[in-house]
Structure 1
Amino acid sequence: MSEKNPVTILSEEECWRRLGELEFGRMAFHLADEVHITPINYALDGGRIVFRTAEGSKLLGVAMNEDVAFEIDDVDEESERAWSIIVRGRATILEGEDARNADNLRLRPWVATEKFNVVGIEVRELSGREFHLSRPWRRMLPQED
């Protein structure tokens, strides 16, 4: 990343590393004729993203159309850098041993609701970018003494 090019393309290994460090992201999915996006907490299981869900729109969406997108990001105010990882993949409802194996993952519910359904997103495409933020308006604000 340089002053001329404020965007760095992250390697696949770096994308996987950052996916493994976080546990909260957003999944976009089709439901009927609309695209929905919803927050999920997740864990990695080899080459796939796994999450739990209750009955509802997420579960119905992946049952009706397996094509999904998933995204995580972060902004570091101190270093004026941000990054984003985008995954495109195929979501399937896991059953049997695959679903039971989710109990061994670092998959913790953030909301105290029953979530008996386990979904896996098979990663088909993975990309990431890191950005050097310029945000010139910050330098225009009056400074406190």
Structure 2
Amino acid sequence: MNYMSSRPRAGAPRAGGAGTAGPRHSTPLHRAEALRLLGSVSLGRIVFTQDALPAIRPVNHLLDRGEIIIRTQEGAAVAAATRQADMEGVVVAYEVDTIDPVTHVGWSVVVTGYCRPVTDPRDLAYYWELLHPWTEGQREHALRIRPDLVTGLRITAALPASATGSRP
């Protein structure tokens, strides 16, 4: 593919560009609100280290007693990383968001913490009952992410200067 042919034409709207709904304002979320929002959706992305490089996988999850639970299969890179870690687990990041593709408003939450395998047979049975994989294949393992660092932001449409009482 010719590099030049993939560039947008002058004056053409850019994907994700401004102009669709005006400027945005971001507000940090408190931990409790961020975790509530995380628990309100079922799909996220886990970020882990594979061969000394960052790797990202989309996964579905549930929030149980303040921890993020995902199911995975034998041989999955993230499962292998947790088995090679010490008792504390392996550091991962987990990101979820809901951003409207037209207005570009919504929220985003990132959790950083230790991830380790779920080994208790009763917990595994409980999670298998509640958490159903979206893709085919056996997902006989579960991983637990302890949310040590929770950050998030809400993105809203910025109020016009006239609405805030500001003068130009």
Provide TM-score, normalisation by structure 2.
0.70
Q: Which moved more, 1:77-86 or 1:115-124?
A: 77-86
Pick one of 37, 52, 57 that aligns with 2:77: 57
1:6-49 Cα distance to aligned partner (Å, 9 max, x none): 11011212111111110000000012311111100001111100
- Structure with the higher strand share, 1 or 2: 1
Residue 43 (str. 1) matches residue 62 (str. 2): yes
Match in the other structure for 1:99: 124
Query: Contact 2:46 / 2:95 at 8 angstroms: preserved in 1?
Result: yes
Q: Which moved more, 1:21-30 or 1:63-72?
A: 63-72
Query: Whose radius of gyration is greater, 1 or 2?
Result: 2
- Structure with the higher helix share, 1 or 2: 1
> What SS class does the counterpart of residue 87 from structure 1 fall into?
strand
Match in the other structure for 1:139: none
Match in the other structure for 1:11: 30
Match in the other structure for 2:147: 123
* Number of corresponding residues: 131
Q: After TM superposition, give the deviation of residue 51 of structure 1 in Å.
A: 0.8
> What SS class does the counterpart of residue 39 from structure 2 fall into?
helix
> What SS class does the counterpart of residue 42 from structure 1 fall into?
strand
Q: After TM superposition, give the deviation of residue 133 of structure 1 in Å.
A: 5.7
Unpaired runs of at least 5, structure 1: 135-145
1:130 corresponds to which letter in structure 2? R
Residues 93, 42 of structure 1: alpha-carbon distance in 2 compared, 3 angstrom cutoff: same
Residues 80, 30 of structure 1: alpha-carbon distance in 2 compared, 3 angstrom cutoff: closer
1:128 corresponds to which letter in structure 2? G
Unpaired runs of at least 5, structure 2: 1-21, 159-168
Residues 53, 5 of structure 1: alpha-carbon distance in 2 compared, 3 angstrom cutoff: closer
Q: After TM superposition, give the deviation of residue 83 of structure 1 in Å.
A: 1.6
Provide TM-score, normalisation by structure 1.
0.80
Match in the other structure for 1:112: 136
Query: Contact 1:54 / 1:115 at 8 angstroms: preserved in 2?
Result: yes
